[in-house]
Structure 1
Amino acid sequence: MPGFPADVGAVDLMIGFPSAQARSHYDFLKPQLKDADSAGMEFPAEYMFKGVPNQLADDEDPIATTVAKMDACGVAIGLVGLSETALKAAERHPGRFRFSIEVDPNDITAAVRRIRTAHAEHGIAAVTTFPAGCNPQVPVSDRRYYAVYQTCIDLDIPIISNAGIPGPRVPAACQDVMHFDQVCYDFPELRIVMRHGAEPWEDLAVKLMLKWPGLYYMTSAFAPKYYPKAIVDYANTRGADKIMYAGYYPMGLSLDRIFRELPDVPFKADVWPKFLRDNAVRVFNLDPKAAEAAGQPEQKEAAR
């Protein structure tokens, strides 16, 4: 499409590292899954994806693998969950990775302490949460989240929350997009980013983003050809500053597929830099100069 940048320099707001033990990453969901099919899946939304790339050969370096794919597709910076692998990746590739931390607010005090410690020690750029994956589930507007929301405001970092029908076969009511209306009303200073589609309430998501300045959307877990029409239309009109790119590598999608399909998304030319980079730099308080420089040494070396 006209306007798709040749030298992308994207910020990927949901990326990770392939693992030989990928299946164990979803052990936290096992107590909530009741159907027999889910017990045999490699990951609990497997029925929605084909060719999941989250696997690793014995002699393969997960960090080198991810960075090589980032370089090949023009991804300058990735937001990754805080882990030992992520810390090593950031040390080996300065400027390429920022950290997030996942919380379950059922233990409110522990969640707040984890956020503050991770921010003090590692400068996390965001908090993430999966309301339908908490045990027990916690609705987005539940009081148990409120201390987490205030902590994010105090630290000037956004929270990323799943929105819409979850992929794993667990109840969805806690992620009804209407919950975000109450949260935005109670926390007008909060930056909250909806992830994983918001379907079937994407039209409501657009209405609420029009209404609330601090509510945003990222495209995680959707191949570009399946981006909801309401979201694309909103980005092309009044929502150019609200919609941000996020992939799903290696959890469910390959970067190759994402960036092969992205140019066919009918975004306007002036929307592309905001979608791929500028909105994330602003919302997540990334250093624009560091973002601009990220990846260049490795990409230049690879080109020699």
Structure 2
Amino acid sequence: MAMPEGIRVIDTMLGIPEADDRSDWFDPFRPLIKDKQTLEQFAMPAQYMFKDIPQTSNVDDYVTWTVEQMDRFNIDKAMVGWNDNATSRRAKEKYGDRFFFDVPCDPNKGVDEVRRIKRLHAEVGISAISVFPAGTLPQVPINHKYMFPLYTCAAELGIPIMLNVGIPGPRIPMENQKVEHLDEVCWFFPDLKVVMRHGGEPWEALAVKLMLKWPNLYYSTSAFAPKHYPKAIIDYANTRGADKIIYAGYFPMGLSLDRIFSDMQHVPFKDGVWPKFLRENAIKVFDLK
């Protein structure tokens, strides 16, 4: 049951740092934040939840540096957010075999956002889109009508959408990310692949029930150190859900790769679950070559 050696890992949430100043993490939802500790002391929006956030100072080439970190831990490929900037373009041009991309989206932008997704799908070959419902401004619930153009677009393009679910880490309201909202979405878009991000807590048992119900609903382990993977998710992977649980880290946003893979040795997955969790499920869901 220990993590086997030799699996070429696919990480479905990894970042390429652009600079040590991370203040722009707050920009999309800064008006929602009201507590002084977050605004005056935190370098990242959910800093109270993480210890020893990785530092990346004195790095000349962040793209190459990131690939070097991946190589240390046998990470074959990583999904990173496409920011349509020099770093993203360099990552694709220089390491197109190591990175695949999702596009963070804002449902408040309506048809303009749909056009942007389609353009980037044609130009870049994006593998997914993503939304942080609690972090939109104004906030947009998972099952709100503003989300439906994004769901339709992803379904038409044949790519998954990744949604933050559960209580958000930043100190902003949670209503928009209740796991129950997924039921309507999965019902109305039966062919759309939906991947839950960031834990789903405290509704992880409901997340399991919905994955049992809906064939195209998946769960990724982003933003959780492996020692904190919810028991309901581990139990589900070890029984009926081996094809539904996908590895995602949170490096360098909140967790170091050393921390992640040190903890990973103690996750009680069954032998047959590991290759699916670390690699095979990502290949299937994101249609990787």
TM-score (ref. length: structure 1): 0.91
Q: Does 1:50 align with 2:25?
A: no
Query: Counterpart of 2:11 in structure 1: which amino acid?
Result: D
User: Aligned partners of 2:205 and 2:23: how far apart in 1?
Assistant: 34
Q: Does 1:203 align with 2:178?
A: no
Checking the alignment, whether the CA contact within 8 Å between 2:141 and 2:177 is kept in structure 1 is yes
State the one-letter code of the partner of 2:43: E
- Other-structure match for 1:66: 66
Counterpart of 1:301? none
Residue identity matched to 1:45: A
- Render the CA deviation track for 1:108-154: whole Å, top value 9, x for unaligned: 11111111011010000000100000001000000111111011011
- SS state at 2:77 partner: strand
On the 8 A contact 2:218/2:245 being kept in 1, the answer is yes
Distance 1:105 1:264 in 2: 39
- Measure the CA separation in 2 of the matches of 1:115 and 1:210: 30
> Tell me, which stretches of 5 or more residues in structure 2 are unaligned?
none
1:252 maps to which residue? 254
Asked if the contact 2:25/2:45 (under 8 Å) is kept, the reply is: no
- The answer as to 2:275 corresponding to 1:276 is no
Count of residues in Structure 1 that have an aligned counterpart in Structure 2: 285
Query: Which position in structure 2 is the counterpart of 1:31?
Result: 31
Residue of 171, 185, 189 corresponding to 2:187: 185
The equivalent of 2:264 in structure 1 is 262
Partner of 2:5: 6
- Secondary structure, counterpart of 2:265 in structure 1: helix
Structure-1 separation of matches of 2:87 and 2:26: 17
Deviates more, 1:44-53 or 1:196-205: 44-53
Instruction: Determine helix, strand or coil for the equivalent of 2:76.
Output: strand
User: What is the TM-score of this pair, normalised by structure 2?
Assistant: 0.96
The answer on 1:106 being equivalent to 2:108 is yes
Separation (CA, whole Å) in 2 of partners of 1:30 and 1:62:
26
Q: Please provide the CA RMSD for this pair.
A: 1.1
1:80 and 1:97 in contact (8 A); partners too: yes
Q: Which one-letter code corresponds to 1:39 in the other structure? A: L
How far apart are the structure 1 equivalents of 2:96 and 2:112? 30
* 2:17 counterpart of 1:15: no
Matches of residues 227-242 of structure 1 in structure 2 within 5 Å? 227-242=229-244
Question: How far did residue 55 of structure 1 move?
Answer: 3.5
Report if aligned partners of 1:45, 1:167 keep a CA contact under 8 Å in 2: yes
Deviation at 1:9, TM superposition (A): 0.7
Cα shift at 1:30: 1.1
**Cα distance in 2 for residues equivalent to 1:61 and 1:122:** 21
Q: Secondary structure, in 3 states, of the residue corresponding to 2:196?
A: strand
CA distance in 1, matches of 2:109, 2:8: 38
Q: Residues of 2 paired with 1:54 and 1:189: CA distance?
A: 40
Amino acid at match of 2:34: K
- 1:54 Cα offset (Å): 4.7
Partner in structure 1 of residue 92 of structure 2: 90
C-alpha separation in 1, matches of 2:176 and 2:75: 33
In the other structure, the counterpart of 2:167 is 165
Query: Hey, what does 1:145 align to over in structure 2?
Result: 147
Q: Distance in 2 between matches of 1:123 and 1:189?
A: 20
Give the Cα separation in 2 of the matches to 1:256 and 1:160: 25
Judged with a 3 Å threshold, the aligned counterparts in structure 2 of structure 1 residues 115 and 183 are, in CA distance, closer, same or farther, namely: same
